Chains A and B, each alone.
Chain A
Amino acid sequence: MKKRKKLLGFLVVAPTIVAIGIFVYGFISWTVRTSFSNWNSFSRLVAGKFEFVGLQNYQRLFRDWRFQTDLWNTLFFTLFFMVGCLVVGLFLASLLDRKLKGGRIFQNIFLFPMALSLVVTGTIWNWFFAPGTLPKDPAGINLLFHQLGLDNLLWGWFTVTDKIGQFNLALIPVIIAAVWQLSGYTMAMYLAGLRGIPSALTEAARVDGASPWQTFWRVKMPLLRPITLSAMIILGHFSLKIFDLVYAMTGSGPSNVTDMPAVYMFELTFRSNRYALGSGVSIIMLLMVAVVIIPYLISTFRKEA
Chain B
Amino acid sequence: MQKKNWSSAWVYIVLVLFAFFYLVPVYMLVATSFKPLAEISMASMWQLPKRPSLEGFIAAFSRLGPNLKNSFLLVIPATFFSCVLGSINGYIFSKIRFRGVNIVFMLILFGMFIPYQSILFPLIQFLQKIGLYGKIWGLILAHVVYGLPITSLIFRNYFMEVPDEMLEAASIDGAGMFKAYFRILFPLSIPAFVVAIIWQFTNIWNEFLFAVTITSDPVKQPITVALVNLAGSQVVQWNLQMAGALVAALPTLLVYIFLGKYFIQGLMAGSVKG
Interface residues of A (CB under 8 A from B): 5-10, 12-13, 15-17, 19-20, 23-28, 30-31, 34, 92, 95-96, 98, 100, 106, 108-128, 132, 137, 139-140, 143-144, 147, 180, 184-185, 188-189, 192, 230-231, 233-234, 237, 240-241, 243-244, 247-248, 262, 265-266, 269-270, 275, 278-279, 281-283, 285-286, 289, 293-294, 296-298, 300-301, 304-305
Contact = CB atoms under 8 A, between A and B. Distances in A.
A231 B255 contact: no
Interface stretch (B72-80, B109-117, B132-140): B109-117
A24 B149 CA distance: 11
Contacts of B117: 241, 243, 262, 265-266, 278, 281-282, 285-286
A185 B89 contact: no
Interface string B227-262: 110010000001001100100110011011000100
B5 interface: no
Given A115-B256, A185-B267, A17 B104 contact: yes
B253 A115 contact: yes
Contact of B228 (A5, A19, A123): A123
B73 to A, nearest CB: 17
Interface string B118-140: 11111101100000000000000
Nearest to B23: A109
B13 to A, nearest CB: 11
B213 A117 contact: no
Contacts of B2: none
A283 B249 CA distance: 32
Contact of B271 (A143, A234, A248): A234
B58 interface: no
Contact of B149 (A12, A20, A113): A20
A203 to B, nearest CB: 17
A147 B44 CA distance: 11
Given A31-B118, A34-B121, A301 B106 contact: yes
Contacts of A184: 22
| Across the A-B interface, the 6 shortest Cβ-Cβ residue pairs | A9-B96, A117-B206, A115-B256, A241-B115, A27-B119, A282-B117
Contact of B224 (A117, A140, A266, A269): A117
Instruction: Give the interface SS of chain B, mostly helix, strand, loop or mixed.
Output: helix
Contact of A113 (B22, B120, B146, B177): B22
Given A95-B11, A110-B22, A247-B228, A24 B106 contact: no
Interface string B87-104: 011001101111100101
Count class of interface residues, chain B: 35 or more
Contacts of A100: 8, 11-12, 15
A8 B12 contact: no
Contacts of A26: 122
Interface in B195-227: 202, 205-209, 213, 224, 227
A188 B249 contact: no
A110 to B, nearest CB: 6
Given A16-B108, A24-B111, A282-B115, A124 B98 contact: no
A240 B115 contact: yes
Nearest to B144: A19
A298 B107 CA distance: 10
B182 interface: no
B19 interface: yes
B102 A124 contact: no
Given A13-B89, A98-B8, A123 B227 contact: yes
Contacts of A304: 102
A15 B81 CA distance: 13
Contacts of B97: 6
Contact of B110 (A15, A241, A285, A293): A293
Contacts of B114: 24, 28, 286, 289
A290 to B, nearest CB: 8
B43 interface: yes
A180 B21 contact: yes
- Chain A CB within 10 A, most for which of B25, B29, B238: B25
